[in-house]
Structure 1
Amino acid sequence: MLSDCPSPPTPGPLQIDGQARAWVERTRDAMCIEEMVGQLFIFSTVQDSRDELEPLLALKPGGINRFPRPDLAAFRDATVHTIESATVPPIFTGDIEGGTISYSFATAVPNIMGIAACDDLATTEALARLVARESRVLGYDWSFGPVVDINHAFRSAIVGTRSFGSQPERVLAQASAYIRALQEEGVAACLKHWPGDGFDDRDQHLVTSVNPLSVEEWHGLFGRIYGQLIGEGVMTVMSAHIAFPAYVRAHMPNAGREAFQPATVSHLLNQRLLREELGFKGLIVSDATGMGGLTGWMERSETVPAVIENGCDMFLFSRAPERDYSFMLDGLRNRRLSESRLYEAVTRILTLKARLGLHQVDPANRMLPLDAMRDALQTPDHRAIATHAAGHGVTLVKDTQALLPLDPVTHRRVVIIAEEGFSFWDGALSRSYEPVLEELRARGFEPRMLDMEQWPTREDTDLVLYLVGQEATPSASHIFLDLVKLHGSNRKAMSQFPQEIPTALVSFGQPYYLYDAPHMKTCINAYSAIEPVQRETVRRLVGDAPFTGISPVDPFCGHEQLRW
């Protein structure tokens, strides 16, 4: 038994009944120190293989984050193996954010910004329930979302389409509906990225980014968002590698470098601000600990125990699991991690598992048989909900040349200039514009890809259509309309078409590309390149359906020039 142990967490979003509480206490007290340390970790898998899992499961982690490959049978087998190998029920987590992060065997849904562009809370709720139900079929218990960052710095490559937008009231309303539906369906939601991102256009995957607000400004914005959602019962919060120097200096006027300490290892931000001031009684998980915003701050052997000691209850990801596990044990032995914090964190972890009912499920019944899983995924009802949302969010930003609707007689010969973008996430959907091309051909258009050696002219081209598809993604640093790449060279990047040939820009990703191409007279933002969004966008380009999307951000980036 550990010494100086605090009382279990008081009732809150993780409130459980007496029977579940007894399971938590019994399970915790039966653990040795090494097993308790294992519970602190959520390791990540990318291969859906037992061989990959074996060294991770030997450490008896509290959870496994799943990035599934396209083989549902292999995904299920790896998940079942994890469940059968565990003494304590593992929790399965995922970055379940929609867009091209969607899984190939699940229903593809719009990303967070695409959902916000529907501007309809009933649609948001329906999508959240769809995501939760299919996630549970796949074994997920905990979604690392929704993102509640504010899309203020439009050049941010990491916030963008992962956010509900730039308007705090919209973010709050959308997140509230999404969280309520997700948790009612039995999947824990997670607010991220604490203490709030979107004002620094840098990416915490690469550098410790900064929330530059004053304490008063923060309380009026992020404090209000987190405070209300905490009051509504969100179960978890993700503490990020983001500094909040104004708050630190309010308590440590001479903080110096420490003012820029990442929240992940900040006792002030996690314990004093989040728990004491905002009253959060749920579980705090760190953001991925291999990110530059944390690895650039302190040495790894110090970082590992510091994450838990300073308020996070779970430690997310590791590039060297056995090493980090040893660092955590060493931290406990040399008092960088107190026994009381270890005890408190493990109690909260087990309480979350009990809150989700994992202690009551027979391991043999936790996953459906493979055929039943397939039947429960991508159902006609789910596809219909996703298709409706995919079209509803497509937004006409401007059409000052009255180009739309496109006509297969007037605009028959179409030159496509495309940049599909990439996805950082393992297992993300493959990317191509074939759905757009299929829809255009079916309507009598003749699309062809840009030939760098045969520049389009008025004589051979009726329409130039730019298709760009980079959603917000880690480690991109900057997202912009890369005309050098699109046109094939630095010299050709200087050539522009809109004054010579009717031209339109369609973004299946970030909503800010007009900043780099204000001369584009027609612009559509569709936010995501998943197949239903592509097909529904073409329907609107040709006038088969109306544009109904409402932009969650200012696509003109505060510049009047872009409007014309």
Structure 2
Amino acid sequence: MLLDSLTPPPTEPLSIDEQARAWVERTRDAMSIEEMIGQLFIFSTSQDSAEELGPLLALKPGGINRFPRNDLSAFRSASVHAIEQAVVPPVFTGDIEGGTISYPFATTVPNIMGIAACDDLATTEAIARLVARESRVLGYDWSFGPVVDINHAFRSAIVGTRSFGSRPENVLAQASVYIRALQEEGVAACLKHWPGDGFDDRDQHLVTSVNPLSVEEWHGLFGRIYGQLIGQGVMTVMSAHIAFPAYIRAHLPDAGREAFQPATVSHLLNQRLLREELGFKGLIVSDATGMGGLTGWMERSETVPAVIENGCDMFLFSRAPQRDYGFMLDGLRNGRLSEGRLYEAVTRILTLKARLGLHRIDPAERMMPIEAMRDALQTPDHRVAALQAAGQSITLVKDTQSLLPLAPATHRRVVIVAEEGFSFWDGALSRGYGPVLDELRARGFEPRMLDVDQWPTREDTDLVLYLVGQEATPSAAHIFLDLVKLHGSNRKAMSQFAQEIPTALLSFGQPYYLYDAPHMKTCVNAYSAIEPVLRETVRRLTGEAPFTGVSPVDPFCGQEQLRW
């Protein structure tokens, strides 16, 4: 479906005053070549320690991506150390996407698809402001989000719950509100994953994925989404390891393998399409450069300078920071990275920092005192807003057997078949269905976990609940209802309960599990396994609160079979 609204003229997302411009020019012109090279890098940390930061800070990077552990004091101390060691203030970045990758000492909020399922832009704005305000308390300046991919390929393990859904109009409306709220609260937003994901069910963490649209189709979908949001002033875009062969061949008709070049190293996609055609004047950051979609494309010593030379302004992550820094410096010396691009990128990096006000903040005041941080995180108002959104998002997909609401008088003995899923991100929230079991017991149910050696029967079981919790995550390759794992063996995977015992499927992750279990007559999608969602789901299963979520995607995957 094409978007009908007109794309507004692009704005200046990094506009700064004369004083800030003077700081940018003065700071840039005082840098050595080595210091300018350092500004290109955003390194990642996950240990909250000065020891981990030491070798990274020696390279004087432009930014530090923070994956916090569970100790707020240690997190703050490491951040303060990075600030104190820097001559040029570093920008702090994060994958701030909600769900089970919410930060442990911040308010836990639904993931992006859960927010979209609330189907209420006021709720979207409230959650975005909550996230931005607590991110600022934690010292973050830049959020790598929101995702504006279109969740077209339902088997995609990497888009799914990280997206606003499959309807382009909703993606644009949700993202527009989310970005405005983030940036009004002082956090730079980032559109990803350029030039648009969701039509290829493969994951660019593992392989260079492909946007298969024609140029005309692309302009009607992703071009319109990016164009609108650029026109509204989004500050940054993340260029991903996604190919767009139709556009490349429109300019290079004889392109063979080069038609499938990742956008990260594509001058045509970054410079000509994004900057010249769409008019983007903000900062372009690469996606994580350790991902298979890039490492499988070209040799590392060529990749490192190529990322910057072909239009990205910042180079995201490195498994070997000193080596990659050396590759970038060598690239400048041997002509793979031009002085013009280095100068342009550093100017834009410093301009972003000035736009965020980092040039005028006293380093000693950049992080709040620890007690003030604790007081500003997980406030009562924030908890209430997050809980309301968690409940509002829960979606009843189908109940053709009229199973709901559940009551202990009819469904007291409950067998739980559970798959908790995993998270790729360091510092992600712990997983578990304890809150579901606690809420059921508190209402008089008797839940027990499946014993694969003692199969449930009509005589000892009144209800079977499948609980699956895999949100979209890097390197999963494919997400599906793994009955072999759930039932304990390949043979037992063939046995089904739904025709003999009342059975329901509850997804606390991807919304497409019915594809693998069309015989399930009751299905609820809750999108993430955070504790508020787990508890609010039980309230809706028992009829204490209504189901209000609106699915952002087709949970029936275009298959009539799944509806019955």
Shorter chain as denominator, the TM-score bin is over 0.9
How big is the shift at 1:47?
0.5
What amino acid is aligned across from residue 152 of structure 1 in structure 2? H
Distance 1:448 1:35 in 2: 60
Kept in 1, the 8 Å contact 2:392–2:547? The answer is: yes
What amino acid is aligned across from residue 365 of structure 1 in structure 2? E
Distance 1:460 1:175 in 2: 48
Distance 2:306 2:491 in 1: 51
Distance 2:272 2:11 in 1: 19
What amino acid is aligned across from residue 346 of structure 1 in structure 2? V
SS at match of 1:410: helix
Q: How big is each residue's C-alpha offset from its partner over 1:204-261, in whole Å with a ceiling of 9 and x where there is no partner?
A: 0000000000000000000000000000000000000000000000000001000000
SS at match of 1:414: strand
Q: Aligned residue for 1:153? A: 153
1:117-132 map, 5 Å = 117-132=117-132
Is 1:424 the counterpart of 2:424? The answer is: yes
Q: Aligned residue for 1:192? A: 192
CA separation of 1:562/1:24 partners in 2, compared to 1, >3 Å: closer, same or farther? same
Q: Aligned residue for 1:7? A: none
What amino acid is aligned across from residue 49 of structure 1 in structure 2? S
Distance 1:214 1:84 in 2: 50
Q: Aligned residue for 2:472? A: 472
Q: Aligned residue for 1:450? A: 450
How big is the shift at 1:11?
7.2
Q: Aligned residue for 1:29? A: 29
Q: Aligned residue for 2:562? A: 562
Is 1:258 the counterpart of 2:283? The answer is: no
What amino acid is aligned across from residue 111 of structure 1 in structure 2? N
Q: Aligned residue for 2:59? A: 59
How big is the shift at 1:561?
0.2
What amino acid is aligned across from residue 223 of structure 2 in structure 1? G
Give 5+ residue unaligned stretches, structure 1. Answer: 1-9
Q: Aligned residue for 1:140? A: 140
1:269-280 map, 5 Å = 269-280=269-280
Q: Aligned residue for 1:505? A: 505
Distance 2:395 2:434 in 1: 21
Q: How big is each residue's C-alpha offset from its partner over 1:507-528, in whole Å with a ceiling of 9 and x where there is no partner?
A: 0000000000000000000000
Q: Aligned residue for 1:394? A: 394
SS at match of 1:490: coil
Kept in 1, the 8 Å contact 2:11–2:230? The answer is: no
The two structures have a TM-score, normalised by structure 1, of 0.98
Distance 2:452 2:37 in 1: 58
Is 1:344 the counterpart of 2:344? The answer is: yes
Distance 2:446 2:75 in 1: 40
Distance 1:306 1:120 in 2: 42
How big is the shift at 1:430?
0.2
Q: How big is each residue's C-alpha offset from its partner over 1:382-407, in whole Å with a ceiling of 9 and x where there is no partner?
A: 00000000000100000000000000
Distance 2:95 2:69 in 1: 14
Distance 2:83 2:261 in 1: 37
What amino acid is aligned across from residue 308 of structure 2 in structure 1? I
Q: How big is each residue's C-alpha offset from its partner over 1:401-434, in whole Å with a ceiling of 9 and x where there is no partner?
A: 0000000110000000000000000000000000
Q: How big is each residue's C-alpha offset from its partner over 1:275-306, in whole Å with a ceiling of 9 and x where there is no partner?
A: 00000000000000000000000000000000
Distance 1:108 1:420 in 2: 18
Distance 1:436 1:106 in 2: 22
Distance 1:412 1:371 in 2: 46
Distance 2:370 2:409 in 1: 49
Q: How big is each residue's C-alpha offset from its partner over 1:108-162, in whole Å with a ceiling of 9 and x where there is no partner?
A: 0000000000000000000000000000000000000000000000000000000
Deviating 4+ runs (over 4 angstroms): none
Q: How big is each residue's C-alpha offset from its partner over 1:66-98, in whole Å with a ceiling of 9 and x where there is no partner?
A: 000000010000000000000000000000000
Q: Aligned residue for 2:6? A: none
Distance 2:488 2:409 in 1: 29
Distance 1:276 1:103 in 2: 37
Distance 1:246 1:87 in 2: 44
SS at match of 2:326: helix
What amino acid is aligned across from residue 73 of structure 2 in structure 1? A
Distance 1:43 1:309 in 2: 19
SS at match of 2:187: coil
Distance 2:81 2:16 in 1: 28
SS at match of 1:191: strand
Q: Aligned residue for 1:6? A: none
Q: Aligned residue for 1:176? A: 176
Q: Aligned residue for 2:437? A: 437
Q: Aligned residue for 1:413? A: 413
Kept in 1, the 8 Å contact 2:11–2:233? The answer is: no
Give 5+ residue unaligned stretches, structure 2. Answer: 1-9
Q: Aligned residue for 1:335? A: 335
Is 1:527 the counterpart of 2:527? The answer is: yes
Distance 1:350 1:382 in 2: 33
Q: Aligned residue for 1:111? A: 111
CA separation of 1:160/1:353 partners in 2, compared to 1, >3 Å: closer, same or farther? same
Distance 2:507 2:348 in 1: 43
Is 1:203 the counterpart of 2:214? The answer is: no
Q: Aligned residue for 2:4? A: none
The two structures have a TM-score, normalised by structure 2, of 0.98
Kept in 1, the 8 Å contact 2:410–2:462? The answer is: yes
What amino acid is aligned across from residue 491 of structure 1 in structure 2? R
Distance 1:338 1:76 in 2: 38
Q: Aligned residue for 1:362? A: 362
Distance 1:51 1:335 in 2: 35
Q: Aligned residue for 1:230? A: 230
Q: Aligned residue for 1:5? A: none
Q: Aligned residue for 2:7? A: none
How big is the shift at 1:440?
0.4
Q: Aligned residue for 2:245? A: 245
Q: Aligned residue for 1:212? A: 212
What amino acid is aligned across from residue 81 of structure 2 in structure 1? H
Q: Aligned residue for 2:540? A: 540
